[in-house]
């Protein structure tokens, strides 16, 4: 009976060129309705495969999207298993991020968020998929499109949103802002394009030195992919055999510049040259997850010492619905049609929902329930983010140094000095 | 008896960060600045296995200036790492290593090359503890020779004291002699915050007499505390790094003419030991700063501004005067290069002008 479900899933599950849904636009929507009707009609014949006591399965297999390889013989697994718990988790995480980013955009328009605000909507499958593969000992570092990352790495929705509005419950007490969110094993949130990549290689060095058998994932965009310091990082990571996974989140545009106008080579997964690479369809959360499982194994097993085969350069093809930041409408360098097409045919949340409902891991009703829980959680967080207070002015002089030799901090004039305080517990003390 | 008492006093006061070199004890120990740095690195690497050194030629070449001689042989590949000539990359990697649990000492062959990596020193290292509101610290040391050497031309002679000491989140030290070099580098490595250690290539080979205490593996100097190298009552000279030597030479020459200079060795540029300078100026009523770096927005400018804003202003008998490098990129021709760096006679002239001994 499980075989029947699998057969049905693979036959009826939309297949096509990487990133393309079978059928397009409204045809795809009709297809989903048809599928749901069919499932209900077939339900009585499928009782044998249901999990005990429920109307859903506990586990299902899925094909991963085809990968492209650079200097590798073996691809990540062609199929993967997803449990019901994971399915619900990934769905919820992606919806939280989608909702959170939408709310952040609104807060920005209301001027409750100032300065920079770079939204991750459309790219959710990447951070959720990667997080689905990482173990607690693994680390992540990314650039400024970090809200989704901060969330999956452990920051609460309130913590992220209050940081955006600069309030005391923000993950950096409001002192960092949109681009500077941190938590254990998550090293930001970095504002300087490309700088996070060698820093991430350095975290991988520490992992290797301290024999943690852990990787560090360094994310960057297609715009950052041309930065010289990336190649310096690849070089040293390869020489030193570091457990570093460099990942390009290729959303097609570096600010307003399309990839073909910025990069002489747009095959970012090959740009590591002597560093092996993998191209991944970033709209499929399970494909992303599987590629990271492969990467973790690659970086922590085998090789000259048995502790890893060195770095990898991954490219995850994705799309961002919003402009580069809130100052960019995102339509001067691409068409609305293009954005619409992705939303309707390649949206990662929609695709995953279809997958898990088709496979009987979840029902449409319970996903709707998750949707309303997510809505409430984000709405509640927005309320807090708007009403929470900023930290007291005196705290602007807090936590400049772990060990300040001088506790008087000069103010705007010599007449009103501040006193250095130490407020928070350092989480990477060593 | 008097000799022993002085040596004891010197040992005790060494720890407090202020000691008086007017003692005429010829210490048995001679230590070059190079060896002082080498032993600081060796001792700290022995003490904490998470301390490691990385930079160009630091391992198999024994260091471009031999500062890391013997360390690779003793500690091996994992702890003494030769990097490619890619400052932006390896400085970033060093910062990541510090974030990830290690205590890297990142060497720049000279601080001129740190300009290629300065984004990592400031934006990745110095600001992170603050931006994370105290969650993530970066216990890193950036070290290497700073300022003018001899005949190396404009691109290899810049002093970075002003630029680095400008930035909150960093600590900046600038040792002059062997005692400074050892004590401050050890302090920097033990410090949980990012520290820039500005050494001086021309001082590496200079030997200084040091006490047994300096030779011990627990000899650490406090960051942020200046040292009065020579007591005096007529005028205060403040300098850092090799300019301290020039100030001391000038002080010796001036003493022969009855002018007693108090020479302060800053040791640290950030935090700057304002209090020591203020107290000295209150005593002497006159101040001349001496540095090799350029005048505009320099270390001397900062000292002058601080004194003017302090109680010491009302004790000044004349304006604060700065003696600095000439405001040009460093020329190569020897006589020009000498003219561009403050010499003894420049300091003597400034002192005499300030004390109105000459017009």
- Which one of A187, A190, A399 has the shortest CB-CB distance to B133? A399
Work out the average pLDDT over B240-255: 98
Q: Is the pLDDT of residue A12 over 80?
A: no
* Catalytic status, residue B291: no
| Residue B32 burial by Cβ neighbours in a 10 Å radius (0-12, 13-18, 19+) | middle
pLDDT over 60 at A343, yes or no = yes
DSSP label at B249? H
Q: State the average pLDDT over residues A195-208.
A: 98
Q: Please indicate whether residue B213 is annotated as part of the active site.
A: no
- B21 or B292, which is more confident: B292
Q: Is the predicted ipTM greater than 0.85, yes or no?
A: yes
The model carries a pTM of: 0.90
* Interface test mutation site (partner B, options A186, A202, A403, max chain B beta carbons within 10 A): A202
Both structure tokens of A365: 């009703």
Which among A172, A400, A428 has the least Cβ separation from residue B101?
Answer: A428
pLDDT reported for residue A187: 98
Which residue from B minimizes the CA distance to A242?
A: B93
Looking at the partner chain, which of B83, B100, B133 has a beta carbon nearest the beta carbon of A207?
A: B100
Scanning B230-259 for CB atoms below 8 A from A yields none
pLDDT computed for residue A302 by the predictor: 96
A167 or A19, higher pLDDT:
A167
Residue B48, pLDDT above cutoff 80 = yes
d(CA B255, CA B257): 5
CA–chain centroid gap for A226, Å, is 21
E strands within A131-195?
139-141
> What is the predicted pLDDT for the residue at B41?
98
Chain A residues touching residue B52 (CB < 8 angstroms): 209
Q: Is the pLDDT of residue B220 over 60?
A: yes
Of A2-6, A307-311, A372-376, the least confident = A2-6
Give me the helix-helix angle, A124-133 and A84-109, nearest 10°. 140
Return the structure tokens found at B8.
């004891």
Calpha distance B294→B290 (Å, rounded):
11
Average pLDDT over residues A4-28: 41
Q: Is the pLDDT of residue A25 over 50?
A: no
Chain A residues inside the 8 Å CB shell of B86: 229, 232, 235-236
Q: Where are the beta strands (DSSP E) in chain B?
A: 29-32, 51-55, 80-82, 103-107, 141-145, 171-173, 195-199, 207-210, 227-230, 235-239, 261-265, 268-270, 287-290, 321-323
Rounded CA gap, A343 and A320, in Å?
A: 10
pLDDT for B28: 76
Helix (H) or strand (E) holding A244: strand A244-250
Give whole-number Cα distances, A297 to A236, A243, A307, in Å: 20, 10, 10
Give CA–CA dist B339/B359, Å, rounded.
Answer: 22
C-alpha distances in angstroms, A85 versus A91, A291, A351, A391? 10, 20, 18, 39
The mean pLDDT of B40-49, rounded to a whole number, is 98
Write down the pLDDT at residue B253.
Answer: 98
**N-term to C-term CA, chain A:** 54
Q: Which tokens hold the place of A283? A: 């709209």
How far does the CA of residue A296 sit from the closest CA of chain B (Å)?
18
Would you say residue A11 has pLDDT above 70? no
Q: What is the per-residue pLDDT for A9?
A: 47
Cβ contacts of B95 within 8 Å, gap of 6 or more: A198, A199, A202, B120, B124, B125, B138, B140
DSSP state of B154: G
| A23 pLDDT more than 70 | no
pLDDT tens, residue by residue, B95-122: 999 999 999 999 999 999 999 999 999 9
Taking CB atoms and an 8 Å limit, are A198 and B93 in contact across chains?
A: yes
Under 8 Å between Cβ of A296 and A133 = yes
pLDDT confidence of residue A55: 67
**At residue A20, does pLDDT exceed 90?**
no
CB B271 within 8 A of CB B305: no
pLDDT of residue A66: 98
Token pair in block for residue A387? 């009403």
Of A180, A190, A406, the CB nearest to B271: A406
Residue A39 pLDDT grade (very low, low, confident, very high; cuts 50, 70, 90): low
Q: Is the pLDDT of residue A314 over 50?
A: yes
The answer to whether residue B136 scores a pLDDT higher than 60 is yes
Chain A residues lying within 8 Å of B309, measured CB to CB: 414
Task: Return the SS3 of B34.
Answer: helix
Interval A216-268: pLDDT, tens: 999 999 999 999 999 999 999 999 999 999 999 999 999 999 999 999 999 99
Q: What is the mean pLDDT of chain A?
A: 90
Compute the nearest-CA separation of B257 from chain A (Å): 39
Q: What pLDDT score does A305 carry?
A: 87
pLDDT digits (tens, 9 = 90+) for A371-429: 999 999 999 999 999 999 999 999 999 999 999 999 999 999 999 999 999 999 999 99
Query: How would residue B240 be classed by pLDDT, with cut points 50, 70 and 90?
Result: very high
Q: In the prediction, which pLDDT does B27 show? A: 55
Residue B127 in this model has a pLDDT that exceeds 80? yes
Q: Do B124 and A199 touch (CB under 8 A)?
A: yes
- A contacts of B99 (beta carbons < 8 Å): 187, 199, 202-203, 206, 428
Using the predicted structure, report yes or no on whether residue B311 has a pLDDT greater than 90: yes
b (16+ CB within 10 A) / e for A101-136: bebbbebbeeebbeeebbbbbbbbbbbbbbbbbbee
pLDDT digits (tens, 9 = 90+) for A65-91: 999 999 999 999 999 999 999 999 999
Residue tagged active-site, from B43, B44, B56, B87: B87
Question: What average pLDDT does this structure show over B205-228?
Answer: 98
Strand partners, B145: B199
In three-state secondary structure terms, B52 is: strand
How far is the C-alpha of B307 from the C-alpha of B69, rounded, in Å? 42
The pLDDT value recorded for residue A56 is: 86
Residue range B243-249: mean pLDDT, rounded: 98
- Looking at residue A14, its pLDDT comes to 42
Rounded to an integer, what distance in angstroms lies between the CA atom of residue B209 and that of residue B27?
A: 5
Q: What percent of chain A has pLDDT over 70?
A: 87
The partner residues of A250 in beta bridges, in order of sequence, read A317
- Which residues have C-beta within 8 Å of that of residue B155, sequence separation ≥ 6? B112
């Amino acid at each position: 009976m499980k075989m029947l479900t699998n057969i049905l899933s693979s036959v009826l599950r939309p297949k096509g060129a990487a990133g393309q849904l079978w059928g397009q636009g409204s045809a795809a929507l009709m297809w989903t309705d048809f599928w749901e009707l069919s499932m209900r009609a077939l339900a009585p014949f499928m009782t044998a495969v249901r999990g005990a006591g429920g109307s859903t399965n506990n586990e299902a297999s899925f094909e991963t999207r085809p990968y492209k390889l650079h200097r590798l013989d073996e691809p990540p697994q062609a199929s993967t298993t997803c449990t019901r718990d994971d399915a619900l988790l990934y769905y919820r995480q992606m919806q939280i991020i989608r909702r959170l980013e939408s709310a952040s955009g609104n807060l920005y328009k209301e001027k409750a968020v100032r300065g920079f605000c770079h939204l991750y909507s459309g790219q959710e499958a990447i951070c959720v998929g990667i997080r689905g593969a990482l173990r607690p000992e693994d680390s992540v570092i990314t650039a400024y499109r970090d809200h989704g990352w901060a969330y999956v790495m452990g920051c609460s929705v309130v913590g992220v949103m209050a940081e955006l509005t600069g309030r005391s419950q923000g993950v950096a007490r409001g002192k960092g802002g949109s681009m500077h969110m941190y938590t254990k094993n998550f090293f930001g949130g970095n504002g300087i394009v490309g700088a996070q990549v060698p820093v991430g290689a350095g975290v991988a060095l520490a992992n290797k030195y301290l024999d943690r058998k852990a990787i560090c994932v360094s994310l960057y965009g297609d715009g950052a992919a041309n930065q010289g310091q990336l190649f310096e990082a690849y070089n040293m990571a390869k020489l030193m055999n570091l457990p570093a996974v460099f990942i390009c989140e290729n959303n097609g545009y570096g600010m307003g510049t399309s990839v073909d106008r910025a990069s002489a080579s747009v095959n970012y997964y090959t740009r590591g040259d002597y560093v092996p690479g993998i191209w991944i369809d970033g709209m499929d959360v399970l494909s992303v997850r599987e590629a990271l499982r492969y990467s973790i194994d690659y970086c922590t097993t085998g090789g000259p010492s048995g502790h890893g085969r060195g770095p990898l350069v991954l490219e995850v093809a994705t799309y961002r619905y919003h402009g580069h930041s809130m100052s960019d409408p995102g339509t001067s360098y691409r068409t609305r049609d293009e954005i619409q097409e992705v939303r309707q045919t390649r949206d990662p949340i929609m695709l995953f929902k279809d997958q898990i409902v088709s496979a009987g891991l979840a029902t449409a009703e319970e996903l709707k329930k998750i949707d309303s829980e997510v809505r409430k959680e984000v709405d509640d967080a927005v309320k807090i983010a708007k009403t929470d207070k900023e930290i007291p002015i005196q705290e602007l002089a807090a936590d400049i140094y772990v060990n300040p030799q001088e506790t008087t901090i000069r103010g705007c004039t010599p007449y009103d000095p501040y006193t250095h305080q130490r407020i928070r517990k350092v989480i990477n003390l060593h | 008896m008097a000799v022993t008492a002085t040596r004891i006093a010197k040992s005790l006061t060494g720890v407090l960060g202020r000691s008086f070199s007017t003692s005429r004890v010829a210490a048995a120990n001679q230590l070059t600045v190079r060896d002082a740095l080498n032993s600081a690195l060796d001792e700290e690497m022995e003490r904490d296995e998470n301390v490691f050194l990385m930079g160009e030629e630091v391992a198999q070449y024994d260091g471009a200036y031999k500062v890391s001689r013997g360390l690779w042989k003793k500690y091996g590949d994992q702890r003494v790492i030769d990097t490619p000539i890619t400052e932006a990359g390896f400085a970033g990697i060093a910062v990541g290593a510090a974030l990830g649990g290690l205590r890297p000492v990142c060497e720049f062959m000279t601080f001129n090359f740190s300009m290629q990596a300065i984004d990592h020193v400031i934006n990745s290292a110095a600001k992170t503890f603050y931006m994370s509101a105290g969650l993530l610290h970066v216990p890193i040391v950036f070290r290497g020779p700073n300022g003018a050497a001899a005949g190396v031309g404009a691109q290899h002679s810049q002093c970075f004291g002003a630029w680095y000491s400008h930035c909150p989140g960093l600590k900046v030290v600038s040792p002059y002699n062997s005692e400074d070099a050892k004590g401050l580098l050890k302090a920097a490595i033990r410090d949980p915050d990012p520290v820039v250690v500005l050494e001086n290539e021309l001082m590496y080979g200079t030997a200084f007499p040091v006490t047994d205490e300096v030779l011990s593996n627990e000899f650490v100097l406090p960051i942020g505390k200046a040292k009065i190298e020579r007591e005096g009552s007529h005028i205060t000279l403040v300098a850092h790094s090799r300019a301290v030597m020039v100030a001391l030479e000038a002080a010796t020459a001036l003493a022969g003419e009855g002018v007693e200079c108090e020479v302060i060795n800053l040791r640290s540029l950030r935090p700057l030991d304002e209090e020591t300078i203020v107290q000295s100026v209150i005593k002497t009523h006159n101040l001349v700063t001496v540095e090799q770096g350029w005048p505009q927005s320099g270390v001397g400018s900062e000292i002058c501004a601080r004194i003017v804003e302090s109680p010491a202003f009302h004790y000044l008998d004349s304006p604060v005067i700065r003696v600095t490098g000439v405001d040009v990129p460093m020329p190569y021709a020897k006589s020009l290069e000498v003219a561009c760096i403050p010499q003894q006679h420049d300091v003597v002239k400034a002192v005499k002008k300030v004390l109105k001994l000459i017009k």
